Amino acid sequence: MGRHGEVLARHPVWRWPSRIGRGYEMDVILDDPFVASGHLEIHEAPNGRLSVADLQSVNGMVLLPSREKRASAEIGPEDVVRVGHTQLRIRPRSFQVAAERPVRQARSGRRAVLFLALITALVATFAWSAFVTTSHRDEGVVVAISVLLMLAAAAVWVAIWSLVSRTVGGRANFAAHGVVACAGVLALEFWNTGAQYLAFGFDASWLETLALAGAAAIFAVMVYRHLRLASRATRFAHAAVAAGVSTIAFGGAVVLTNLTEATNLGIQSHSESLKAPSFVMVSGITPTAFVDGADSLKQKVDAMATE
């Protein structure tokens, strides 16, 4: 078995007792330099279990998840024994395998279609966002550059995950990783846009800061789905890694933002979320009151200048 629990090879055993080792006289031959010529002997035990005994090897055997060496042990069909650098799971002939899975011929095709639909939606979203936020006279150039940069970043991201998936799991799953990436980026884009509108409408810039937690959660889910496609580790391990990566990424972004704000001391604070007046949900001061306040401030500044 592999380190993630995947089956790498199966060896049938035709008689009891059976022996495992590196020697050619063994019933199961292991190509592991840390395994003795004759390493283990397997006997039948009551209740469908098996008894394994170490044949006085140097490295012994370990019944995972324990790290303690054992001279003998009684194991079931789900127990994993490690000898040298090899993990073994020994099952009797009576073990019932899982039911046959139905073949889904159109699954890969549907996934490719979904990937194309999501990438189209992503291009449209980024193009519209660049169009409504740019003040450059060459709007078409700005939109094109924004879309091309997004596509390049998405291609690199999906390619990296596909390479990891191919290396670890044996399958690239390019379309599946593309679906996860596009869906995640779209969710982040809509989440951040919604947070900006709420911050503008209620004049609450703290909502944008709070939205970082939601964005971190979305990013963690995206990384988790990538890991599920690339690795056969446990769900808990995938969730822990995804949470750690998201925490580091968004924690670094928060620290960088705070450092940037610290260098801007003395600059008047302002909201970066500017939307149409129809989205304003709170009542501010009247234009007359604002102008009167500016006149009062001007008088104070003029007085300070003449001193």
* Of the candidate ranges 71-75, 114-118, 201-205, 299-303, the one whose mean pLDDT is the lowest: 201-205
pLDDT at position 173: 85
pLDDT digits (tens, 9 = 90+) for 148-186: 998 899 999 999 999 988 888 778 888 889 999 999 999
More confident of the two residues 102 and 119? 119
How many Å is the Cα radius of gyration of the chain?
31
pLDDT top residue among 270 and 279: 279
What is the spatial distance between Cα 13 and Cα 3, in angstroms, rounded to a whole number? 23
Q: What is the largest CA-CA distance in the chain?
A: 106
Pinpoint the residues of the chain covered by CATH 2.60.200.20. Answer: 18-88
Q: What is the pTM of this model?
A: 0.59
Tens of pLDDT, residues 177-225:
999 999 999 999 888 888 877 877 777 777 777 888 889 999 999 999 9
User: Structure tokens of 12?
Assistant: 């049938």
User: What is the percent of the chain where pLDDT is above 70?
Assistant: 88
Q: Which CATH class is domain 18-88?
A: mainly beta
Taking only the tens place, the pLDDT of each residue in 135-150 is 677 777 888 888 899 8
Q: What is the pLDDT of residue 197?
A: 79
Q: Beta strands 81-83 and 28-29: pairing type? A: unpaired
**pLDDT at residue number 130:** 80
The stretch 36-42 carries a mean pLDDT of: 92
109 or 28: which leads in pLDDT? 28
pLDDT, position 272: 55
Structure tokens at 139: 């709007």
> What pLDDT, on a 0 to 100 scale, did the predictor assign at position 53?
92
Helix or strand (DSSP H, E) at 185: helix 174-201
Q: Are 107 and 126 in contact (CB under 8 A)?
A: no
Q: Is pLDDT of 40 > 90? A: yes
User: Which of 93 and 269 is assigned the larger pLDDT?
Assistant: 93
